[in-house]
Structure 1
Amino acid sequence: MNLQKFLLGLLVLLGLGTALAAPSVDVPNELRLTHDLVSQSLREYAQGKSQQAFRTARSAYLDHFEYAEPPLRVLNPDLILEMEYRFADLRNGMKAGQPTGELQKIAGDIDGSLRKAESIVSGTGVLGPTLAATGGFTILFREGLEAALLIAAIFAYLDTSRNTQLRRAVWYGGAAALLATALTWALATYVLSIAPVSRELISAVTSAIAVVILFSLSFWLLQQSDRRRSVEFMRARVSQAVQSGSLLALGAVTFTTIYREGFETVLFYQALSVASGPVSVYMYLGVALAILALAVTFLLLFRFGRRLPTAKLFPVLVSVTALFAVAFVGNGVRAFQEAGWLNVTNLYGRLPTIDPNVAALTGLHPTVETLGAQGLMLLIYVLGFVYARVRAGAGRQNAAGKLERS
């Protein structure tokens, strides 16, 4: 037994010695070049250039990934073996003339493994996990806080009634909405995993929808009048349900109010989970912290009846929401590029390289198209916020003028 341990240790030392004696390799750069060539091979295959696509895919493995293998093999041999099979599946699929969608799924798995490999070599650092945790926390806390305030508004309306069954119907409706949200998450995850389209296209469409909703939410949160109208509309629906005497109708109002927030949460987390990749565990840490924060919020609202400083809190949440919308724009454009729907003007080598996890979570990919889309989105946000401020100031001046005249 001791002899076996000695021989095993000797082999490990020899393996490490060989790796140390090998020429220095820029592993992150080789992995990025591998990613670019895999994406290029898919575009060539989609254009009918199957032979050229096969040669490009082979070059991605032989001319770049193989150079990154020695240090990675020491750190995670299982990942290397897995990737060898995936590269072989990609080349064999091109030889066999498989549909482009099938090859895009294989390429998506390769891309995920490349990101994991780069994280193994470079380390996750601090910024990537921090961004993932921040996103996980902000999304759930923002949506949960909005739901809590709406439920509080419903209970405030019901305070005029001593009918305990009405309050029970609200809680049942809220619980049903939470259950429906969990089922929606499970269903969405399953459907997306078996969808007959590429992972890149799914990511692109999900990011695009998330951006539209986040963009509208950002400015809606800033407009106090719009939020008041939303609460008044919800109270009117509650009033109709109470007057009809139907507990089911009241529960349905609560269900739709909460489930709308839950559906948005599922959509945002689908986009964020793709971006988080190897640091997704930190996203779930943010989710756990958000659940804890929401528990405290619910306790303060419904147990002690305390008011929360939402006027100061919402601008912070709006700012973080806007930043994630800009990130999703970059990721969405990048996904459309990898799916072959948009051109790619690479800026590799011209811009400083950043950690792949940070790039995925911020959407800062080194292409003209992704950075241009993010710049445009950021400009729209700046102009929109300035417009909202000017409009709010004008509204306050008009209100002050009316008070003076009265």
Structure 2
Amino acid sequence: MQHGVRTSRSLPSTLLLLVLSSAVMAVLVWQALTAHGNPDPTAANLSPLAAIADTGILVFREGLEAILVLSALTASMVRSGQSYWKPVGAGAALAGLASLITWFVVVAVMGQINAPALHVQAATGLLAIVVLLIIMNWFFHKVYWTGWIGLHNRKKRELTEAPVLSPTTVYRGLALLGFTAVYREGFEIVLFLQSLRLRMGSGVVLEGVLIGLALTAMAAVITFLSHHKLPYKKMLILTGVMLGGVLLVMVGESVQECQQAGWLATTPLPLGLPAWLGTWFAVFPNLQGLLAQALAGALVIGSYFAAGRLQRSRRPAQAR
């Protein structure tokens, strides 16, 4: 009987995973089928739909991580009927507003930079790659499972179980936990999206952000209102694989921008690559771009296996 209950409860989570996966993949397939044109290695080639898909995937990915932390913080509070989850929610909402303000501040600061447009675009592209590599590193090294969530849970216990703290201090501390859980993700998104904003415009970025937020909201509703535990690990793996594709695209685009700005040489290769590879994956027949994309892929895959090897080496030491 209990097995049947668990099966019925896991059904909404499975259906949600299928819906979210189908929605993201539908965007990718739609873009791939409608992509056209003959990419010129001396011009920006990422199509608006590809930029929207990249933005949506990143926002959804970061939103899932924020939900994961908030869910770990508030699960025991909701089950016990405590009202401590309210300041956590208030802090998370404030972090969303702070992320929006940060966006306008960063845009204003970049608007004051007195440098050629191609140089600014190339620099923001490199910044986006750094941010994305950090995100991928958090994923593959499982810091969220051992460090970030654990830190928030320890701070929560210190606040809620300390008998000498005043209610105001507890409220502020929990609000700060909710704030940091969300604002870190928001800040990463703001930095990453500057490159796409300069190339594609704010309208395209806004569409991608709205798609990502809609998918995140679906996951949040199921988690916090229906109290279902989502298959976060599978969902993070799915979005992590997608982000691997986004990383390769960003590297290809950034190399192209650095070549336009005169920071990198261009060595054409007689490969005869199809046009859709440039439109969709930013893969162009030149040595610098292909080498950079290969190195980026090797770095991410290598970090995954290095983390696994490190984890296996720690197990015998812990068993002693």
Structure 1 residue aligned with 2:183: 259
Structure 2 residue aligned with 1:197: 115
SS for the counterpart of 1:217 is helix
Structure 2 residue aligned with 1:206: 124
Match of 2:217 among 287, 291, 295: 295
Match of 1:268 among 185, 192, 206: 192
The answer (yes or no) to whether the contact 1:135–1:283 under 8 Å persists in 2 is: no
Q: Distance in 1 between matches of 2:144 and 2:70?
A: 18
Residues 179-216 of structure 1: CA distance to partner in whole angstroms, max 9, x if unpaired?
11111112222322332112222222222222223223
Q: Distance in 2 between matches of 1:237 and 1:249?
A: 8
Amino acid at match of 1:178: G
Structure 2 residue aligned with 1:219: 137
Does the C-alpha gap of structure 1 residues 258 and 225 become closer, same or farther in structure 2, counting only changes over 3 Å? Answer: closer
SS for the counterpart of 2:190 is helix
Identity %: 26
SS for the counterpart of 1:340 is coil
Q: Distance in 2 between matches of 1:148 and 1:270?
A: 24
Match of 1:308 among 222, 230, 233: 230
Q: Distance in 1 between matches of 2:313 and 2:134?
A: 21
Further displaced range: 254-263 or 237-246:
237-246
Q: Distance in 1 between matches of 2:60 and 2:145?
A: 18
Superposition pairs for residues 6-405 of structure 1, below 5 Å?
A: 32=40, 128=47, 130-159=49-78, 163-164=82-83, 166-224=84-142, 227-242=145-160, 243=162, 244-245=165-166, 246=169, 247-275=171-199, 277=200, 284-347=206-269, 351-352=272-273, 354=275, 359=278, 362-390=281-309, 394=312
Does the C-alpha gap of structure 1 residues 287 and 385 become closer, same or farther in structure 2, counting only changes over 3 Å? Answer: same
Q: How far does residue 128 in structure 1 lie from its aligned partner after superposition? A: 4.0
Does the C-alpha gap of structure 1 residues 226 and 289 become closer, same or farther in structure 2, counting only changes over 3 Å? Answer: closer
The answer (yes or no) to whether the contact 2:193–2:205 under 8 Å persists in 1 is: no
The answer (yes or no) to whether the contact 2:273–2:284 under 8 Å persists in 1 is: no
Q: How far does residue 283 in structure 1 lie from its aligned partner after superposition? A: 5.3
Further displaced range: 313-322 or 153-162:
153-162
Structure 1 residue aligned with 2:9: none
Higher relative contact order (CA 8 A, sep 6+): 2
Q: How far does residue 310 in structure 1 lie from its aligned partner after superposition? A: 1.4
Q: Distance in 2 between matches of 1:387 and 1:362?
A: 27
Amino acid at match of 1:258: V
The answer (yes or no) to whether the contact 1:220–1:227 under 8 Å persists in 2 is: no
Does the C-alpha gap of structure 1 residues 270 and 362 become closer, same or farther in structure 2, counting only changes over 3 Å? Answer: farther
Structure 2 residue aligned with 1:45: none
Q: Distance in 2 between matches of 1:360 and 1:236?
A: 47
The answer (yes or no) to whether the contact 1:326–1:377 under 8 Å persists in 2 is: yes
Q: How far does residue 130 in structure 1 lie from its aligned partner after superposition? A: 4.9
SS for the counterpart of 1:197 is coil
Q: Distance in 1 between matches of 2:104 and 2:253?
A: 23
Q: How far does residue 293 in structure 1 lie from its aligned partner after superposition? A: 1.8
Amino acid at match of 1:223: H
Could you tell me the TM-score, scaled by structure 1's length? 0.59
Does the C-alpha gap of structure 1 residues 237 and 199 become closer, same or farther in structure 2, counting only changes over 3 Å? Answer: farther
Q: How far does residue 338 in structure 1 lie from its aligned partner after superposition? A: 2.1
The answer (yes or no) to whether the contact 1:177–1:255 under 8 Å persists in 2 is: yes
Residues 4-60 of structure 1: CA distance to partner in whole angstroms, max 9, x if unpaired?
xxxxxxxxxxxxxxxxxxxxxxxx88x95xx95xxxxxxxxxxxxxxxxxxxxxxxx
Does the C-alpha gap of structure 1 residues 217 and 250 become closer, same or farther in structure 2, counting only changes over 3 Å? Answer: same
Q: Distance in 2 between matches of 1:266 and 1:135?
A: 14
The answer (yes or no) to whether the contact 1:170–1:250 under 8 Å persists in 2 is: yes
Q: Distance in 2 between matches of 1:272 and 1:326?
A: 14
Amino acid at match of 1:288: L
Residues 149-206 of structure 1: CA distance to partner in whole angstroms, max 9, x if unpaired?
1111111243476552x32211221111101111111222232233211222222222
Structure 1 residues not aligned, in runs of 5+: 1-27, 37-110, 116-126
Q: Distance in 2 between matches of 1:167 and 1:319?
A: 32
The answer (yes or no) to whether the contact 1:135–1:324 under 8 Å persists in 2 is: yes
